[in-house]
Amino acid sequence: MKSKWIEHNGRKIFYQDFSTLFFNAQAVRNELDAVQEVVLKEPKNSVRVLSNFKDTEIGSNLMSALNEASARTKDHVRRTAVVGVTGFKRTLGDMLSRLTGQPLKYFESEEEAKNWLTQD
């Protein structure tokens, strides 16, 4: 698993690292399965998530897996920040957010995302 816990401004953030998986949908699914296990062990409404999708292709072939994962974990997630999502990936992200009811906030940099995640 590439993903890990990090700390920023004295708060824990679960850094979900889907970056540089390029067109490897199976690697994305494997990482997705691993991060769900971690998030589901945490108390409800407690996990601050930073998801990095830089240099990873997300297409319709992954939408059902992402949708299911988001629906399963949304009660445990306090806030979700996303980096590396532009263009068509952003459209899919917005659709995912509407389907699951889990709001996503997009950022240009990890630093901006971490600052936003730790504001509350």
Q: Running DSSP on this structure, what letter comes out for residue 29?
A: H
Give the model's pLDDT for residue 4.
98
Domain boundaries, the chain: 4-117
Residue 115 predicted with pLDDT over 90: yes
Structure token digits, residue 89: 């990936």
Report the CATH architecture of 4-117.
2-Layer Sandwich (3.30)
- The order of strands in the sheet holding 11-17 is 4-8, 11-17, 47-52, 77-83, 105-107
For 2-28, what is each residue's pLDDT tens digit? 999 999 999 999 999 999 999 999 999
CB 107 within 8 A of CB 83: yes
What is the mean pLDDT of the segment spanning 39-57?
96
Whole-number average pLDDT of the chain: 92
Considering only CA atoms, which of 4, 1, 5, 15 is closest in space to residue 111?
Answer: 15
Quickly state the pLDDT bin for 49 (edges 50, 70, 90): very high
